[in-house]
Amino acid sequence: MAYHVLDEAERCLECKNPQCLKGCPINTPIPTVIKLLKENRLDEAGKILFENNPLTTICSLVCNHEKQCEGHCVLGKNGSPVHFSAIESYISGAYAPKMTEGAKAGNGKKVAIVGSGPAGLTIAIVLARYGYDVTIFEGRDKIGGVLRYGIPEFRLPKKVIDDLQYRHLELKGIKIRPNIRIGDAIGVDDLFRDGYKAIFLGTGAWKPRALHIKGETLGNVHFAINYLNNPNVYKLGEKVVIIGCGNAAMDVARTVVRNGSRDVTCFSIEKKVAASDYEFRYAQVEGVKFRYSLKPVEIVDQGVIFRKLVEREDGTTKEVEGSDKLYDADSVIIAISQKPRNSIAAKTEGLEANKNGLMVVDEYGHTGREGIFASGDVVHGARTVVEAVAHSKIVAEAMHKYMQGTKD
């Protein structure tokens, strides 16, 4: 691994106008990091990575690099780009064990973080660096949100999340209250009563989007986000139909294959997959099959009935009457994204959700209630990890200014 990474680093052209920077949502100083690695200054490179992106180890594994940093590398125009994902993973993995510094001297102000997904973790870590007394309220038994319960182990090992918890939360004095949902026994008003100066809501998007077709409640039908939460409890059988062809569908399909199903097919209403090319290719290599331009119209005990779609001259599609066909399946998994549950918004005065269930905030994460901020999937819908981290860094600074009595 090390030799491969060093070879990749040597391939960097050190461009005067680095295009890789334009492709990174979180503005990682890629050329600087690579230069430091080539100069045997790994610790300096690692420190820069973590200071810029608290979730750098995770992002190096799950980012859509082909459309971001690597997709903008000039070497990729006529060949293979510099694989910064491998470089970032190596540096962050090698440097992480050296991060043993304890908590910063406190400033006496308490902050509540509701949800420990990418957004909540970023906010917690950034504010802890400023000396805030941070408490994370997590509805499940372990931290991580979608990182732990929505991304398969083969893409993001749980030990990476556990290490982040130890080095970035426990060593920094961040408290964690697991198995508690704000809005149930404890509400937002209780948090303010107990002295929290600001509250961050990063409750994610856990409500599956339904097809709203006949048969969706049958016993052999499941939703992707529920399946990925704990795949081992599902008995799917040999033949599985997955409705959807995005990145989440690829995660589902590859997990289904790993859990023993031998005939797995993803169906798309589009003419191609929506997933990244890398994820699509890995799924193909692992035996997943794909069908296109087919719309599900009914689910039955024996499988799914699909109808053909054809493209009109104006680019829109129409259904082909009389083309309905049953595709056999032991189980069906619906993977067409998800949205927020918004239980907090419904129970808290001053918070507003739009027609899609997303929390209404301004560019700095301010909600309609003073002292309450939000970002991540509960605001933007199901997006990438790095996008959640990037926006949450902005929101963390806004929270800091608010608690210091200054304005954006």
CATH for 210-336 (3.40.50.300, 1.20.1440.230, 1.10.10.10, 3.50.50.60): 3.50.50.60
Asked if 299 and 326 count as a contact pair (C-beta separation under 8 A), the reply is no
Q: What homologous superfamily does CATH list for 2-98?
A: Alpha-helical ferredoxin (1.10.1060.10)
The dihedral sign for the CA sequence 280, 285, 287, 293: positive
For the chain, residues classed under CATH 3.50.50.60 are 110-206+340-403, 210-336
Q: What per-residue confidence (pLDDT) applies to 374?
A: 96
Q: For the chain, how big is the Rg over CA atoms in Å?
A: 23
Q: What per-residue confidence (pLDDT) applies to 159?
A: 96
Q: How far apart are CA 385 and CA 57, in angstroms?
A: 12
For the chain, residues classed under CATH 1.10.1060.10 are 2-98
Q: What per-residue confidence (pLDDT) applies to 349?
A: 86
Q: What per-residue confidence (pLDDT) applies to 148?
A: 97
Phi-psi region of 212 (alpha: psi -120 to 50; beta: other; left: phi over 0): left
Residue at 56: amino acid letter: T
Tens-place pLDDT, residues 355-404: 888 999 999 999 999 999 999 999 998 889 999 999 999 999 999 999 99
Asked if 334 and 211 count as a contact pair (C-beta separation under 8 A), the reply is yes
Q: What per-residue confidence (pLDDT) applies to 370?
A: 95
Residue numbers of the chain with a pLDDT score lower than 50: none
Domain 110-206+340-403, CATH class in plain words = alpha beta
Residue at 210: amino acid letter: A
Tens-place pLDDT, residues 151-168: 999 999 999 999 999 999
